[in-house]
Structure 1
Amino acid sequence: MTSQKQDLLQWDDACRAFNNQEYNQSLVLFKPIAISAKIYFNMAICYINMNQLDKALVSLATATKRDPFFALAHFIRGIIYFKMNLFAKALTDFTNVLKNMRSALVIDYTQLGLSRKLFAFEALFNRGLCHSALGNQTASLSDYDEADLIHPTSAGFGDRPLLESKIDQACDLGSRALHSISLYEMDYELAIFKPNEQKVLNAQKVDYIGSPTVFLDSNHRLSEFFTNTSKTRLLQVAMKLTRMQDSRVP
């Protein structure tokens, strides 16, 4: 069993491999420490970059089991289902994104180690495309309208014209929109959770003192020495204790 410090350093090594596009190596490092939803999400992103979508779905399923409120995992899985023409499943995932956001307009994942904000309007637009693909144009238009309404223009998110253009095209194309209009996605070459830099630096610090080892001296008293104390030093201390004991003998 590895320690938390070792897991943290291995997580960092896996992210470095990912940054170098060494996705297989990144997976090799992630798998032994795969406990949290974030690590399973990272594994899914590796598989996406390797175009192994079935394996990505397995990892995302585990991520959502570990954290049922993991909106971004549902968002990515919805995208995969859509690309696999599984529109009903994609619609369910995008709906779960909105439920898990609990009326929030945005979730900022940068605080958790991933350089991405997830906006509710993105999930709404994507769900609108799902409705359109399933032939429900009324529900589709409703999602487009709401996406346009809640777009956070005041927050400085600068692609409102892009959203409006996508909505106009989607409305014109109807059920054909899924072949011509792209979903809102994310940059899969950057989209992984990374450990806190300060925690990694702290974990990399060398412990020159070591952990204490307790043993009995010649008088059966508890004495503490450090594990990295040399054998020579231990022998010197033992000899000193013996001389002290001999000096007390009348």
Structure 2
Amino acid sequence: MALKYELEQWGAAVQAYDSQDFDKALDTFETIAESAKFHFNMGLIYATLGEHEEACRSYKKAVKLDQFFAVAYFQKGVSHFLLGEFEKALANFNDSLLYLRKNVLIDYEQLGLKFRLYSCEILFNRGLCYLYLGQTDQGMGDFTSAAKEKQTEEHEVIDEAITVQGQGFTVFSIPVGVIYRPPEGKLKNVKTKDYLGKAKLVAAVDPEDAFTGFTGAQQQKKQGLNTTTPITKANTEGAVIQINNGSNSRPASPTEKPQRPKSLSSSPRNPPFPMRASRNPSIARRRPPQNEGTPIYVDDDKTSNGGGQFPDRRLPASEGTMRSTSPAPD
């Protein structure tokens, strides 16, 4: 069973018990009665209603789940005593005293039950059972032992019972209203908490403030500062396109063919393949270094041998045959 559900039902059952709605409390405990303390609570409720037979059955389930449950044996003996079943009561008080393990008391408050089980109370109850069974010596012996282990002012009645041999006295018991209660801290943690709260609608006084974004960019926009930097990139045909940086220039349309930069020549002698964009487009037309005396062909259809002379460039007469060339006459 989920711990949250168990705590919620436990708290609801205790609240019903405090409101004296005992039927609801029993029904609620029945849904979570998987531990000894819940069956024990049901036994206390039945005892409050005077149904001690049902109370004994609940106590029996409790000690079956926890055989060292000393206070459950104690209360089971009380119910048997009130039913006149003194032998059964005597046996339960013996078990309660056994599981007290020679301690003077057991404090159940830290476990949720505001009650202390004292050894003198168990001895006194057992002594009453002996007296009602006609065993006066054993009964008075338990009274004497109980008087030696008194702990509180309420135990002063033991001395009075000794003087009259228990006539008119009844057994010690857990007071009405005392049951196992869940820790308050755990009950508070079970409740759902809204850490985020609810959203609030805030109206902007200035229309320029009706935005969601970075305030720094908005402040620069108000002051007329350029918040972007120019970026250039090359398209597929080698043209340089400048990204819009806040000026009047507009980016090239996808269907519009970009124009070539002015730094590039529009001469038909330019190579047909695209040229790479460069910070200095004139580098693309820079002539390679010339070696003196070696003719070099360039785009202007001229050769230079370093001496200012331009020999003829002749075509072959036929495929596979080269005509001899002679230098032009002076």
TM-score by length of 1: 0.75
SS in 1 for 2:165: helix
CA positional deviation for 1:160: 3.7
Residue deviations 1:165-219 (CA, integer Å, cap 9, x gap): 1222226xxxxx3xx212112212x12100111011111134779xxxxxxxxxx
**Aligned partner letter, 1:203:** V
State the partner residue of 2:106: 107
CA contact (8 A) 1:108 1:117 kept: yes
2:181 to 194, 201, 218: 194
CA RMSD of aligned residues (A): 1.5
Question: 2: CA distance between counterparts of 1:199 and 1:111?
Answer: 14
Q: Is residue 2:168 matched to residue 1:168?
A: no
| 1:201-216 alignment runs, 5 A limit | 201-206=188-193
Residue deviations 1:19-62 (CA, integer Å, cap 9, x gap): 11110000111101001100000011111122222111111100
Question: 2: CA distance between counterparts of 1:161 and 1:102?
Answer: 24
CA contact (8 A) 2:143 2:162 kept: yes
State the partner residue of 1:16: 15
Residue deviations 1:113-169 (CA, integer Å, cap 9, x gap): 1111111100100100111111111111110111011112xxxx2224322112222
Question: 2: CA distance between counterparts of 1:50 and 1:134?
Answer: 27
Q: Aligned residues: percent identity?
A: 33
Unaligned runs of 5+ in 2: 197-330
CA positional deviation for 1:4: 1.2
Question: 2: CA distance between counterparts of 1:208 and 1:66?
Answer: 40
Question: 1: CA distance between counterparts of 2:71 and 2:18?
Answer: 20
Higher Cα Rg, which structure: 2
State the partner residue of 1:60: 59
State the partner residue of 1:128: 127
Higher share in helix: 1
After alignment, is 70-79 or 49-58 more displaced?
49-58
SS in 2 for 1:125: helix
CA contact (8 A) 1:148 1:164 kept: yes
State the partner residue of 1:37: 36
CA contact (8 A) 1:121 1:146 kept: yes
SS in 1 for 2:181: coil
Question: 1: CA distance between counterparts of 2:154 and 2:46?
Answer: 29
State the partner residue of 1:158: 153
Q: How many residues align?
A: 196
Question: 1: CA distance between counterparts of 2:156 and 2:32?
Answer: 43
TM-score by length of 2: 0.57
SS in 2 for 1:159: helix
Question: 2: CA distance between counterparts of 1:70 and 1:44?
Answer: 13
Question: 2: CA distance between counterparts of 1:149 and 1:133?
Answer: 22
Question: 2: CA distance between counterparts of 1:207 and 1:53?
Answer: 46
Residue deviations 1:67-107 (CA, integer Å, cap 9, x gap): 11111111111011111111111000111111010001111
SS in 2 for 1:139: helix
SS in 2 for 1:170: coil
SS in 2 for 1:118: strand
CA contact (8 A) 1:94 1:126 kept: yes
CA contact (8 A) 2:14 2:25 kept: yes
